[in-house]
Amino acid sequence: MNQDMSIVRLVLDASWVVQAVMALLACVSIASWAAIFRKIFALRRVKSLNEAFEREFWSGTTLNDLYASAAQNARAAGPMERIFASGMREFQKLRERRIQDGGVLLDGARRAMRASYQREMDAVESQLSLLATTGSVSPYVGLFGTVWGIMHAFTGLASLQQVTLASVAPGIAEALVATAIGLFAAIPAVTAYNRFARDIDRVSIQLETFIEEFTNILQRSVGAPGAPQTTAGR
């Protein structure tokens, strides 16, 4: 039992199949952590931009002024501001065609906002599939490495006349490292996925609520001639 049983030594002494599994899991873990940090910063930015626009929206500024500001800052705008701009753009286009039917105006604005909402949610939900795949597949990949390593270890013991714990332990330990790396990759990915899914649900509810509230404001302005000057203050 005087053999070097450190993690590094176990990895270096493992069979090439187990080493390939470990390398794959290490790469997946690095990609997963990179996605986690990107998503943390992205969701913080979305939340900050949505809250800033929502405060401005309910501050009493006219819809035309809000739309002009959203058009100028299209690239730096948040999801809520882009949804608002989509609805206002379609509403004004229909007004310019001298469509007076309130139902047609509201339906067009709502459809434009729903389409923009779907695009924004697709962007917000990006990279979640990587975390979900990492969390569900990594333990099984690690288990495959472990099973292969144990098979390799017992195959090597077949030629020995006397098998002791000292001869069995290194091979099994090498194989179990693959499972440990698989769990190391999977646990953070699953935890982050659940957290991000909850945060994204909140963003989705916030955006859907805004669409309904903005639609109500447009409905009150349908009877006014020209572009709506209604303020959005509560």
Q: What's the pLDDT tens digit per position in 195-213? A: 999 999 999 999 999 999 9
pLDDT at 2 over 50: no
Q: pLDDT higher for 144 or 174?
A: 144
Given a contact cutoff of 8 angstroms between Cβ atoms, the answer to whether 165 and 100 are in contact is no
Q: Which of 18-27, 98-107, 166-175 has the lowest mean pLDDT?
A: 166-175
Q: What are the phi and psi torsion angles at 114 (to 5°)?
A: -65, -40
Q: Which of 30-39, 90-99, 147-156, 191-200 has the lowest mean pLDDT?
A: 147-156
First to last CA, the chain: 76
Rounded mean pLDDT of 23-29?
A: 92
pLDDT band of residue 151 (cuts 50, 70, 90) is confident
Task: Count Cα neighbours of 220 within 13 Å in the Cβ-side half-sphere.
Answer: 10
Six token digits for residue 60? 């009493």
pLDDT at 1 over 50: no
Each residue's pLDDT tens digit, 216-234: 998 887 765 554 555 555 5
The rounded distance, in Å, linking the Cα atoms of 169 and 157 is 11
Each residue's pLDDT tens digit, 110-125: 999 999 999 999 999 9
The rounded distance, in Å, linking the Cα atoms of 54 and 45 is 14
Task: Count Cα neighbours of 219 within 13 Å in the Cβ-side half-sphere.
Answer: 9
pLDDT at residue 62, rounded to an integer: 87
Strands (DSSP E) contained in the chain are none
The rounded distance, in Å, linking the Cα atoms of 165 and 143 is 22
Rounded mean pLDDT of 38-42?
A: 95
Six token digits for residue 49? 């931009």
Of the chain, the percentage scoring pLDDT greater than 90 comes to: 51
The rounded distance, in Å, linking the Cα atoms of 167 and 222 is 84
The rounded distance, in Å, linking the Cα atoms of 42 and 164 is 55
Mean of the per-residue pLDDT values for the chain? Answer: 84
3-class secondary-structure state, position 62: strand
pLDDT at 43 over 80: yes
The rounded distance, in Å, linking the Cα atoms of 71 and 85 is 7
Of the chain, the percentage scoring pLDDT greater than 70 comes to: 82
pLDDT at residue 178, rounded to an integer: 85
Q: What are the phi and psi torsion angles at 98 (to 5°)?
A: 60, 35
Residue 26: other Cβ atoms inside 10 A: 14
Residue found by looking up tokens 């695009």 in the block: 119
